[in-house]
Copies of this chain bind each other. A is one copy, B any other.
Amino acid sequence: MGEFELIERHFVRATPRAALGPGDDCALLAPAPGQQLAVTSDMLLEGRHFLATVPPVRLGHKALAVNLSDLAACGARPLAFTLALSLPRADEGFAAALARGLFALADAHDVELVGGDTTAGALSLCITAIGEVPAGGALLRSGARAGDQLWVSGHLGDARLALEVFRGHAALPAADFEAVRLAMECPQPRVALGLALRGLASSAIDVSDGLLGDLGHILRRSRVGARLELSALPCSAALAAQPQALRQECLLRGGDDYELLFTAPPHREAAGVAGGVAVTPIGVITAEPGLLAVDHDGRVQALPARGFDHFA
């Protein structure tokens, strides 16, 4: 099977929302009046962003999920995406499973694959996702203000815990391993929450590089500081059962969580936001720059707000 047949069979589908779908030099989109376009690109490389052991159906899901997560963090509604795919060979079973995972998530969010590129090479996926957001309504990293509450969706650290198991640094009962592995390989982008936070959150980011690193982006862009309650960080039962040092590492510097971290003025009822996922208050924004953490015994320590660096 050649390149064009492989694409035609597994990746070309009807695209009723687009003015023109795959098959020409470009796709054409017709944005609604008054909307701005939110654009984000993420590349996933084997060995860097996923392990060779990942089932292809989950890899297809994740490649799109991490991009939809960026749209969610801006409060944008997903519209379309392109996929540049590099595959070692035209393996039809692999391509079919990858497409199944990709389109299951795409259908769940009514977002269309409108174009892209396929090539032979080491396995990698580069997706660019495009969403719509009312002009002036996007959630930015720069809007946090002193006195705002700090919130995070879902729970943190499971993806990192799964990675530690794959690395042989931790061991889990089978059911717990499957649960944290699903968090790592099949993250759920918080699209509905992002939409619900429009007009409510003062700033937002998705947690991809670890809580401290991504919180650091909000603090720097907003020119504020934060006081974080370590005992409030939401945590799965599997992670709660781990030794304290590993648990804290996963919660604070885990990465690959794809939860939304956001700030909101205290009078706004963020706790009741209808985004299909629980949100937890984990601290407060302060006027003084820097990040202070309050531990379980009430002791306060300064933490470096720095995230994962691919070249460090």
Contacts and interface: CB of A to CB of B under 8 A. Distances in A.
A48 B311 contact: no
Contacts of A119: 43, 45, 48-49, 310
B23 A40 contact: no
A259 interface: no
Interface stretch (A27-35, A234-242, A288-296): A27-35
A138 B80 CA distance: 18
Interface stretch (A99-107, A126-134, A157-165, A246-254): A126-134
A284 interface: no
Contacts of A37: 28-31, 37, 130
A contact residues, range = 35 or more
A287 interface: no
Interface string A189-207: 0000000000000001110
Contact of A25 (B1, B6, B120, B205): B205
Contacts of A87: 311
Given A3-B311, A126-B84, A126-B126, A27 B43 contact: no
Contacts of A3: 309-312
Nearest to A41: B82
A120 B24 contact: no
A38 B89 CA distance: 30
B124 A26 contact: no
B43 A115 contact: no
Interface string A72-104: 011010001011101101100000000000000
Given A28-B37, A40-B27, A71-B26, A45 B121 contact: yes
A115 B84 contact: no
Contacts of A114: 39
Contacts of A115: 39-41
Contacts of A1: 311
28 contacts: A2-B312, A3-B310, A6-B311, A20-B140, A24-B74, A25-B40, A25-B73, A25-B205, A26-B40, A27-B38, A27-B40, A28-B37, A28-B38, A29-B36, A29-B37, A30-B36, A37-B37, A41-B128, A42-B84, A42-B117, A43-B119, A49-B119, A84-B126, A89-B311, A118-B310, A120-B310, A120-B311, A122-B122
Interface of A: 1-4, 6, 19-20, 23-31, 33, 36-43, 45, 47-49, 70-71, 73-74, 76, 80, 82-84, 86-87, 89-90, 114-122, 124, 126, 128, 130-131, 133, 135, 138, 140-142, 204-206, 221, 309-312
Given A28-B133, A82-B128, 20 more contacts: A3-B309, A19-B36, A20-B138, A25-B71, A25-B141, A25-B205, A26-B38, A26-B70, A26-B73, A29-B36, A30-B36, A33-B33, A37-B130, A40-B115, A42-B84, A43-B84, A43-B126, A47-B121, A48-B119, A128-B128
